[in-house]
Homo-oligomer: A and B are copies of this chain.
């Protein structure tokens, strides 16, 4: 379609740069929250779709299936039970809002609380999608360093005190406490208590993103921060993207009515996709609790393959902590490696990675780090892709040395 009409003078200032045309996924794709296609519970999803449509398909003629703006009631009922069982959260269907993926949850929470110039607190390494949203909104993001137990409370305490001294009340403390993205840590219960104490002391709510919390190797997770809160100052979000399938755009928010009623006024999309909600509800009630352990087990074997491949190909040049769940590995390469440059060179060789600086508030700290997602590629693709990546990295940065491979095998 050719257009001689010139739209350019009509664009307002501050638009993001135009997107490039889609050229498909890389041959070896270690990016994005994509899942393991072998683990999509296809037969049961088909059965659920049949059941849901036969039972209630005619209600698709009504916006939101006439269940109101908070979403399909049976899905909210499933979530009430699931959140109680898995995360210890006590809530009712009235505290839940079904959204079009947790990205819409981020947008709604941000739109409800933030305005240009505001300050929020983040984990230093964090989810790119959350970070880019705040940059777009003109919000100041303060990153708190992480250790193996997640956000460091000593630094959070001094940061909050410092901000208070400067008259700044942050709008929220954003955390991914259960399988942190990208580090894969799980914040222990004691630290969650401490976080809640600081939240209460400074009047700063916690924004808990529990997107990956279903995928814990041990099957055991601490109670959600939301569940432990004595004052209700926690907004909790989650998703079915990681536990079932990401192309189904279904996530949820648990929030008190004060916040919920504001978010509902901002959610002007006439409801999130109802067919996906119906099918999920019909599927999850009987199958969720058996599907998730099977999925987690399969993901764990892929992590093993990835860690093995990274050790084999990068040797001591690659450092990482074993994640406690999830679908990604956060890797530190030698300081001379600039992963933004590595990203470009690797992509040209058919390997896509997430360069560290896109997943961090501290570009220096993250310069030689990268995130590798392992759920989507096959075991063989993982092995081949990591080998190509190591080859590219060696060519560009001289590491890993050729001997690494041999050393490691010794």
Contacts and interface: CB of A to CB of B under 8 A. Distances in A.
Interface of A: 1-13, 15-22, 24-25, 32-40, 42, 45-46, 49-50, 53-54, 57-66, 68-70, 90-92, 94-95, 100-101, 103-104, 107, 112-115, 118, 129, 132-133, 169, 171-172, 200, 203, 205, 229, 231-233, 245-250, 254, 256-259, 261-262, 264-266, 268-276, 279, 375-376
Contacts of A94: 1, 21
Contacts of A231: 3-5
Contact of A24 (B66, B259, B272): B66
A17 B46 CA distance: 41
10 contacts: A5-B205, A5-B229, A5-B232, A32-B62, A40-B61, A42-B57, A59-B247, A60-B246, A101-B270, A275-B279
B3 A258 contact: yes
B61 A103 contact: no
Contact of A247 (B68, B104, B113, B271): B271
A269 B103 contact: yes
Contact of A61 (B100, B129, B245): B245
A377 to B, nearest CB: 11
Contacts of A16: 262, 265-266
Nearest to A58: B37
Given A11-B262, A58-B42, A3 B256 contact: yes
A69 B22 contact: yes
Given A11-B262, A249-B271, A249-B273, A5 B233 contact: yes
Given A10-B113, A46-B50, 16 more contacts: A3-B231, A5-B205, A5-B229, A5-B231, A15-B112, A33-B63, A46-B54, A60-B248, A61-B376, A63-B246, A104-B269, A132-B268, A247-B275, A249-B270, A275-B279, A276-B276
A265 B18 contact: yes
A19 B50 CA distance: 34
A61 B275 CA distance: 17
Contacts of A114: 12
A254 B3 CA distance: 12
A65 to B, nearest CB: 5
Contacts of A65: 247
A275 to B, nearest CB: 5
A299 to B, nearest CB: 12
Nearest to A268: B103
B205 A376 contact: no
Contacts of A169: 10
Nearest to A60: B245
A66 B59 CA distance: 30
B40 A95 contact: no
A13 B24 CA distance: 42
